A and B are shown apart, each in its own frame.
Chain A
């Protein structure tokens, strides 16, 4: 099947290049350090308090930053490299729908991110061995992280489709994602009405609910919309070659 062939090719290209291993190593090292320091903090100051609110929530929120820095490194090459090499011309003259190509890249990057995220499951397992705690709220938190990651990926692929330069794609993605983070962070700089609108737009405010261990349909809908919106934009960019020319 065409999609499977493309998906396998994308996945393979991650595992044959050193980039994935470097990104995964940095991701796991940084999140491991966060885990270690947050745990020490909890043990020192919060012992006997609610572990969910005083430890897992902090860790999940910290992991966002690590994801913000590492996921653009995984998405930046997806279209930019094919455009730079010129292989996009070959692919687009094959009987492949633009949508299949996009979906293969999105799914492969999502799978790679899933593997990296699964690596961090070591921490709750370790803590559970030391001291059992309620799992279910943490699962909601992980679902939130995964949805957040998919949103990062959708945005990153869109930026990658705009340029031939991987560095430009990576930097611009970090910029856009950071903006979605800090939209609502300074109440003083905005009017109350605007702030309410910005909170609705801010990715990290929607993530907060998940970190509290709650799966709210409204927040799930937000991430689904975010991913769909950037997927739509990416497909429009791919289509643009038809009226703009060039590749």
Chain B
């Protein structure tokens, strides 16, 4: 449904997008993940026909973004990054205007406006001037106009920015509900969002694709690295030696004062790295008790998506994840 081939885009001497290629199948929800300024918005603007690429090609629903932009724009719904709407229009009037421009009329117009206002929770602000709406409602009005014409492809630039936690959950479930019917490309710099809504993830940094994989494979990768937090009531140096002797343990690092680890006097904390799949936690507990120290806490530490992201971005590894 979306095909991007060797896309390049520069603004003056700034290379915003460099040799980006990926495809999105019909009905798939794909996440474009990257830090601010990594080229996500540029890719999306090319896909919406806002401006053409310097080199390479982007096709949506078979239409070329540069040459068949008008036909392409009929197929897509787009939520821009900064949702800015006409401040002196009312929500319902704005959606009616969007329907008119898209040549939706008659009963379908009325039915669709009611449907998107219901889906996006806009009923209570239908007659408010858009200039008086809160950021959350503006965002949802932006989403409503993108969904209005039941587009085949939905391009959402940071759809949950500015929403409160309850609204984020609503919007995410709305997007998940489109799975199979609508092809969705959404960008975000919030990592959990990707694992919650997307089937596949393209991670980009400084205009290049750093990794591309399914969300499931990413989670597996995240779980693959085994780390255990151990908190013990005992002499730190001896405890460290004792833990090191446990079979399967690869490396130990001090964890006092890191993150949520409580540095209570008399206890010491370590992060124990072990080979994936080896049941070291039982052995650790036995070793601690065997030495006569007090075992206060043993818990698995997952490698977060943030860690993974930082690792990918800093090593600049190109290609699929190992």
Q: Which of B11, B70, B80, B145 contacts A245 (CB 8 A)?
A: B11
Q: How far, in angstroms, from A9 to B89 measured CA to CA in the complex?
A: 9
Please give the distance in Å from A3's CB to the nearest CB on chain B: 9
Question: Given contacts A4-B100, A89-B50, is CB(A16)–CB(B70) below 8 Å?
Answer: no
A186 within 8 A of B: no
Of A5, A95, A97, A246, most buried by chain B (CB within 10 Å of CB) is A95
Q: Can you give 25 A-B contacts (C-beta < 8 A)?
A: A1-B103, A2-B100, A5-B101, A8-B97, A8-B100, A9-B89, A13-B86, A17-B88, A86-B84, A87-B86, A90-B84, A90-B145, A92-B50, A93-B78, A94-B73, A94-B98, A94-B102, A95-B70, A96-B101, A241-B50, A241-B51, A245-B11, A245-B51, A246-B11, A247-B50
Interface residues on A, range: 20 to 34
Q: Are B88 and A13 in contact (CB under 8 A)?
A: yes
Please give the distance in Å from B258's CB to the nearest CB on chain A: 42
Specify which chain B residues have a CB less than 8 angstroms from the CB of A90 in the assembled complex: 78, 80, 84-85, 145
B52 within 8 A of A: yes
B159 within 8 A of A: no
Q: How far, in angstroms, from A242 to B52 measured CA to CA in the complex?
A: 6
B48 within 8 A of A: yes
Q: How far, in angstroms, from A87 to B87 measured CA to CA in the complex?
A: 10
Q: Identify which of residues 33-88 in chain B touch chain A, using a CB-to-CB cut-off of 8 Å.
A: 45, 48-52, 70-71, 73-74, 76, 78, 80, 82, 84-88
Q: Are B73 and A93 in contact (CB under 8 A)?
A: yes
Interface string of B134-150 (1 = CB under 8 A from A): 00000000000100000
Q: Are A97 and B70 in contact (CB under 8 A)?
A: yes
Q: Write the chain A residue with the least CB distance to B79.
A: A90
Give B contacts to A, CB under 8 Å: 9, 11, 16, 45, 48-52, 70-71, 73-74, 76, 78, 80, 82, 84-89, 97-98, 100-103, 145
Specify which chain A residues have a CB less than 8 angstroms from the CB of B98 in the assembled complex: 94
Specify which chain B residues have a CB less than 8 angstroms from the CB of A5 in the assembled complex: 97, 100-101
Q: Which of A2, A16, A96, A242 contacts B88 (CB 8 A)?
A: A16
Q: How far, in angstroms, from A8 to B93 measured CA to CA in the complex?
A: 11
A73 within 8 A of B: no
Question: Given contacts A86-B84, A87-B85, is CB(A242)–CB(B74) below 8 Å?
Answer: no
A217 within 8 A of B: no
Q: Are B50 and A93 in contact (CB under 8 A)?
A: yes
Specify which chain A residues have a CB less than 8 angstroms from the CB of B45 in the assembled complex: 89, 93
Q: Write the chain B residue with the least CB distance to A101.
A: B101
Specify which chain A residues have a CB less than 8 angstroms from the CB of B73 in the assembled complex: 93-96
Specify which chain A residues have a CB less than 8 angstroms from the CB of B49 in the assembled complex: 93
Give A contacts to B, CB under 8 Å: 1-2, 4-6, 8-9, 12-13, 16-17, 85-87, 89-90, 92-97, 241-243, 245-247
Q: Write the chain B residue with the least CB distance to A15.
A: B88
Q: How far, in angstroms, from A12 to B71 measured CA to CA in the complex?
A: 28
Q: Write the chain B residue with the least CB distance to A86.
A: B84
Q: How far, in angstroms, from A90 to B146 measured CA to CA in the complex?
A: 10
Specify which chain A residues have a CB less than 8 angstroms from the CB of B78 in the assembled complex: 90, 93
Q: Are B80 and A86 in contact (CB under 8 A)?
A: yes
Q: How far, in angstroms, from A241 to B70 measured CA to CA in the complex?
A: 16
Specify which chain B residues have a CB less than 8 angstroms from the CB of A9 in the assembled complex: 86, 89, 97
Please give the distance in Å from A88's CB to the nearest CB on chain B: 10
Q: How far, in angstroms, from A2 to B51 measured CA to CA in the complex?
A: 21
Of A8, A93, A97, A247, most buried by chain B (CB within 10 Å of CB) is A93
Specify which chain B residues have a CB less than 8 angstroms from the CB of A4 in the assembled complex: 100
Q: Write the chain B residue with the least CB distance to A6.
A: B101
Q: How far, in angstroms, from A247 to B82 measured CA to CA in the complex?
A: 13
Specify which chain B residues have a CB less than 8 angstroms from the CB of A8 in the assembled complex: 97, 100
Given contact pairs A2-B101, A8-B97, a sample of 18 additional A-B residue pairs in the complex whose CB atoms are under 8 Å apart: A5-B97, A5-B101, A9-B86, A13-B86, A86-B80, A86-B82, A89-B80, A90-B80, A90-B84, A90-B85, A93-B48, A93-B73, A93-B80, A95-B71, A95-B102, A97-B70, A242-B51, A245-B51
Specify which chain A residues have a CB less than 8 angstroms from the CB of B103 in the assembled complex: 1-2
Specify which chain B residues have a CB less than 8 angstroms from the CB of A17 in the assembled complex: 88
Q: Are A85 and B50 in contact (CB under 8 A)?
A: no
Q: Write the chain B residue with the least CB distance to A242.
A: B51
Specify which chain B residues have a CB less than 8 angstroms from the CB of A241 in the assembled complex: 50-51
Q: How far, in angstroms, from A18 to B72 measured CA to CA in the complex?
A: 38
Q: Write the chain A residue with the least CB distance to B71.
A: A95
Q: Are A245 and B100 in contact (CB under 8 A)?
A: no
Q: Which of B51, B74, B85 contacts A95 (CB 8 A)?
A: B74
Specify which chain B residues have a CB less than 8 angstroms from the CB of A1 in the assembled complex: 100, 103
